Amino acid sequence: MCSLSGRQRGGKMVLQILRPPLLKHLQTASLTCVVSRNYSAKATIKQGEQVTIAGREYLTDQMTNVTSHLLSHVGRNLHLQKYHPLNHISQRIVQYMYQKYVSSRGNPLFSVHNQIHPVVTTWQNFDSLLIPKDHVSRQKSDNYYVNKENLLRAHTSAHQCELIGMGFDNFLVIGDVYRRDEIDASHYPVFHQVEGVRLCTKRDIFGSHQNMDSFRMFENGERTRQKQGVHIAQVLQLLESDLKSCLLGLATTLFGQDVEARWVDAYFPFTHPSWELEVKINNDWVELLGCGIIEQEILSNTGAQDKIGWAFGLGLERWAMKLYSIPDIRLFWSTDSGFLSQFQFDDPATNFKYQVYLIDTYTHPKKKSTSCCYRIVYRHMEKVITQEEVNIIHKRIEEKATADLGVTMR
Ligand code: DAH
């Protein structure tokens, strides 16, 4: 019996390297070197074992490929952690949706589901979303399977059907998602998504009229690039413009009113038509989210056949990295105060850039030259970093600063 919770974490060692002061010292360079030992627990779990994931038990089989190291991330719930950058962004998104869609009595229409268990069935993750049986996204090499029937959700879309089936018409799902991936500065096997779903009745689309029977949303038409066969074109247009204005509004609320944005046609098995929203950041087009009109077959399967709807999904890390200039996705998992303490603001809408800290300045009274002392935290995201490795990087920073900024190193 092997029980795993979210608490298995490697030890952390903090080294302080203080450079010996120079003879005529105006400044000492201070280096804090944080050595992390997170990668000791990579063992895969054997077949036929009982494994507990966030309080639920599963029997492993030949499909199991979760590792104890990966499972140590389950339950961290970074999106729920106070002051965590992912929490700030998700709060801003929730706030935006709350004020964008209100009932006639002034209450928010959207409900927020941010603590749904991350283990889902293959039916939830794939079949319920019309993902074909032989689709590449089901591969063992791309997912973390708990056993043949269950996996760690690969996207928050996995919860669409159950929530629609429960009667929710407007909802957000916020949670951790898991995909097998090579780790680098922008990829990590665990990240966080926000899923949004909005369903509309005839009344939502046309408003209340005396004779609602004369208004129709469905027809037996042809499926084209622009629409599903069952949707009447004018109805689809209203829904599409609601979706696009909602998401453009969200992007400009967070990235600024002047941000350049564009819609790109996309394909998802569960929406048609589908789009991606891109915004221009530092001269690069960055994909922010995927969205589309929910396949009517999904709504019929969940008992919502008299409604039409849209959905979107976005990755919180991508948004946070762009908004706060966070250079490496692995930093979100840091328990190091050097990272987290920078996000301790109560208003999630605070404009902020992650940075290296300036800890002291000094102007020489006679020479009038100013010394600036910065603290840089060196930390390798996967292994123990040695002092020699730190010295090489530090030397390069010194050389680059001297060449590009014309400063003198001390
Ligand atoms: N689930 C998709 C993904 O993870 C994102 C997505 C795209 C979600 C379109 C949606 C949608 O709800 O309509 O890549």
Beta-carbon contacts of residue 371 (< 8 Å; ≥ 6 apart): 26, 27, 360, 361, 362, 363, 364, 410
Residue minimizing CA distance to atom 4 of ligand 1: 155
Token couple for 180: 């097998």
For 129-170, give the DSSP string.
GT--TT-GGG-GGGS-BSSSSEEE-SSGGGGHHHHHHTT-SE
User: Are 71 and 4 contacting, i.e. CB atoms less than 8 angstroms apart?
Assistant: yes
Q: Tell me, what's the pLDDT at 17?
A: 28
Q: Tell me, what's the pLDDT at 381?
A: 65
Residue 343 CB less than 6 A away from ligand 1: no
Strand, coil or helix: what is 17?
Answer: strand
Question: Among candidates 70, 28, 56, 47, which has minimal Cα distance to 360?
Answer: 28
State the Rg of the chain over Cα.
25
Residue 118 CB less than 6 A away from ligand 1: no
Cα of 187 vs centre of ligand 1, distance in Å, is 17
User: Are 275 and 263 contacting, i.e. CB atoms less than 8 angstroms apart?
Assistant: yes
Residue minimizing CA distance to atom 6 of ligand 1: 313
Residue 291 CB less than 6 A away from ligand 1: yes
Cα of 291 vs centre of ligand 1, distance in Å, is 6
Beta-carbon contacts of residue 152 (< 8 Å; ≥ 6 apart): 53, 66, 70, 74, 118, 119, 120, 143, 144, 146, 177, 178
Residue 315 CB less than 6 A away from ligand 1: no
Q: Tell me, what's the pLDDT at 378?
A: 74
Cα of 151 vs centre of ligand 1, distance in Å, is 18
Map 212-255 to HEC letters: HHHCCCECCCCCCCCCCCCECHHHHHHHHHHHHHHHHHHHHHHH
Q: Which DSSP symbol is given to 198? A: E
Q: Is the peptide bond before 327 cis (omega within 30 degrees of 0)?
A: no
Beta-carbon contacts of residue 42 (< 8 Å; ≥ 6 apart): 67, 68, 69
Token couple for 283: 């001269």
Beta-carbon contacts of residue 191 (< 8 Å; ≥ 6 apart): 176, 177, 179, 315, 316, 317, 329
Q: Tell me, what's the pLDDT at 226?
A: 96
Strand, coil or helix: what is 70?
Answer: helix
Q: Which DSSP symbol is given to 187? A: B
Q: Tell me, what's the pLDDT at 161?
A: 98
Residue 293 CB less than 6 A away from ligand 1: no
Residue 159 CB less than 6 A away from ligand 1: no
Query: What is the distance between the alpha carbons of residues 284 and 303, in angstroms, rounded to a whole number?
Result: 42
**pLDDT values of the chain reduced to their tens digit, one per residue, 410 residues:** 232 222 222 322 222 222 333 322 222 333 333 333 343 345 678 899 999 999 999 999 999 999 999 999 999 999 999 999 999 999 999 999 999 999 999 999 999 999 999 999 999 999 999 999 999 999 999 999 999 999 999 999 999 999 999 999 999 999 999 999 899 999 999 999 999 999 999 999 999 888 888 899 999 999 999 999 999 999 999 999 999 999 999 999 999 999 999 999 999 999 999 999 999 999 999 999 999 999 999 999 999 999 999 999 999 999 999 999 999 999 999 988 888 989 999 999 988 787 766 777 888 888 888 888 877 777 766 677 788 888 888 888 888 888 888 888 87
Residue minimizing CA distance to atom 2 of ligand 1: 313
Q: Tell me, what's the pLDDT at 397?
A: 86
Q: Tell me, what's the pLDDT at 22?
A: 30
Closest ligand 1 atom to the C-alpha of 160?
12
Cα of 340 vs centre of ligand 1, distance in Å, is 29
User: Are 317 and 192 contacting, i.e. CB atoms less than 8 angstroms apart?
Assistant: yes
Closest ligand 1 atom to the C-alpha of 156?
1
Q: Tell me, what's the pLDDT at 197?
A: 98
Residue 178 CB less than 6 A away from ligand 1: no
Query: What is the distance between the alpha carbons of residues 204 and 100, in angstroms, rounded to a whole number?
Result: 14
Q: Tell me, what's the pLDDT at 309?
A: 98
Closest ligand 1 atom to the C-alpha of 315?
4
Residue minimizing CA distance to atom 7 of ligand 1: 290
Q: Which DSSP symbol is given to 379? A: -
Q: Tell me, what's the pLDDT at 252?
A: 98
Please give the angle made by the CA atoms of 396, 399 and 401, to the nearest 5 degrees: 105
Q: Which of 93, 126, 155, 174 to mutate to test the pocket of ligand 1 (most atoms within 8 A of CB)?
A: 155
